Structure 1
Amino acid sequence: MILEAASKLLAAGGPAAVQVRAVAAEIGVSDAAVNHHFGTREQLLESLLRFGGAKLKAELHTVLEAWTDGPIDPAELVRALYALYAEGYAELALALHRSGWRDTGSGLLDEVVDRLHAQARQHCAAIGRTPPPREAIQLTVAGLHQAVATEPLFGDEFRRSVGLDATARDRMLEWWIEILRTTIAGQGSTGAPSTF
């Protein structure tokens, strides 16, 4: 309950809104009750970031389960990643990073990469294409992850730097979806990438 309340406050007002007193008031407990579970505000914020990671993993499993029923469409993956960071988790990760906290975990998207690579190999074998190497998929997914994680923080500024306005955000997400589709499509006999 505490982390759900903190997550709502984060989405509404960013990391500054996630104060022990505000979280306690949101669920009707004392500040001491929140501190009992998390120790300090910093530990609450770190737990909240891990909570966000767990939410993302659950969402990714939903996406992966949908992929078992047919061809992979990476659109839901891109949208799931974007949605989490748009809910304040990008700003939270940056704030914690600035305070010296470092994520020691790894492999959040390993299963996604494995599934995309397996699908690419299967699809390319069926139509006579050369599948992409696993590293090409890793690099594409890492670039995508970096882009959607920084989108809520810097997306408008990056778009303005090349003459695009805020309305281009959705087109940029669609562009990432197409880049991922192109990567997993492999290469034809000419060596040029193609899409499904």
Structure 2
Amino acid sequence: MATRVRRQPDDAKRLILEAASKLLAAGGPAAVQVRAVAAEVGVSDAAVNHHFGTRERLLESLLRFGGAKLKAELHTVLGAWADGPIDPAELVRTLSALYAGGYAELALALHRSGWRDTGSGMLDEVVDRLHAQARQHCAATGRTPPSREAIQLTVCALHQAVATEPLFGDEFRRSVGLDDTARAPLLDWWIETLRATVAGQG
């Protein structure tokens, strides 16, 4: 008989959410079933339900888990910015990678079911760092720095674009005669747009 491993509740929840995240990336929200998650972790269905109550609560927790993971990755990006000039390329790619991993579909599914995220300010620190960099750069080059609101609007539009890319990207590209090969250039365009905003006006 196999020995049951007893884990602390927080450790058990983390393992369950990591397994659910893996299933989400592979098959979207429909793949995140209690039985599948339990099998991935090596526990019973009851163990998953014990920590999350229902599948709906598991999915809500999974979306928050994705948000926490994104925040941690953004802190890594911000830490890299401390060593030199800010380049928004890694920021854009970090945001894009999260939503490409199934979190766009999960957010839409939860939204359709009536769930609403009341959190705010996830990218505030990013905006502040970009604004500070813009002011510093423009002071040294004699350019007019962008307002904080201009950076907020650019980051907001970028965030919206990469979040909806896995859901509607193909349709939007086809609407202007582009195909799948334009996906990477479109991401590069967002990087250049953010760089241009931070660079200010001559």
Report the 3-state secondary structure (helix = DSSP H, G, I; strand = E; otherwise coil) of the residue aligned with 1:162: coil
2:84 counterpart residue number: 70
Distance 1:115 1:85 in 2: 23
Among 115, 126, 135, the alignment partner of 2:140 is 126
Within 5 A, what are the aligned runs for 1:177-188?
177-188=191-202
SS at match of 1:102: coil
Q: Write the letter of the residue equivalent to 2:32.
A: V
2:186 corresponds in structure 1 to 172
Partner-residue secondary structure (3-state), 1:177: helix
Match of 2:45 in 1: 31
Aligned residue identity for 2:101: E
Deviations 1:1-33 (A, max 9, x none): 000000000000000000001000111100000
Report the Cα distance in structure 2 between the residues aligned to 1:63 and 1:120, rounded to whole angstroms.
17
Match of 1:45 among 42, 55, 59: 59
Unaligned runs of 5+ in 1: 189-196
Deviation at 1:138, TM superposition (A): 0.1
Alignment-mate amino acid for residue 137 of structure 1? I
User: What does residue 115 of structure 1 align with?
Assistant: 129
Distance, in Å, in 1 between the alignment partners of 2:145 and 2:80 is: 22
CA distance in 2, matches of 1:165, 1:130: 37
Percent identity between the two aligned chains: 89
Superposed CA offset, 1:20-54 (max 9, x none): 01000111100000000000000000000000001
Q: Distance in 1 between matches of 2:118 and 2:146?
A: 29
Q: Which amino acid aligns with 2:146?
A: P
Give the secondary-structure state (helix, strand or coil) at the position aligned to 1:105.
Answer: coil
1:193 paired residue number: none
Residue 83 (1) aligns with residue 92 (2): no
The answer to whether residue 114 in structure 2 is matched with residue 100 in structure 1 is yes
- How many residues align? The count is 188
Secondary structure of the structure 2 residue equivalent to 1:55? helix
Q: What TM-score comes out, normalization by structure 1 length?
A: 0.95
Which residue in the other structure is 1:7 paired with? 21
Aligned to 2:150: 136
CA-atom RMSD in angstroms: 0.4
1:155-180 CA-partner distances (Å, limit 9, x unpaired): 01100110000000000000000000
Residue equivalent to 2:70: 56
2-side partners of 1:63 and 1:28: how far apart? 34
- 1:104-154 C-alpha deviation (Å, 9 max, x unpaired): 100000000000000000000011111000000000000000000000011
1: CA distance between counterparts of 2:48 and 2:103?
20
Report the AA paired with residue 186 of structure 1.
Answer: G
In structure 1, what is the equivalent of residue 175 of structure 2? 161
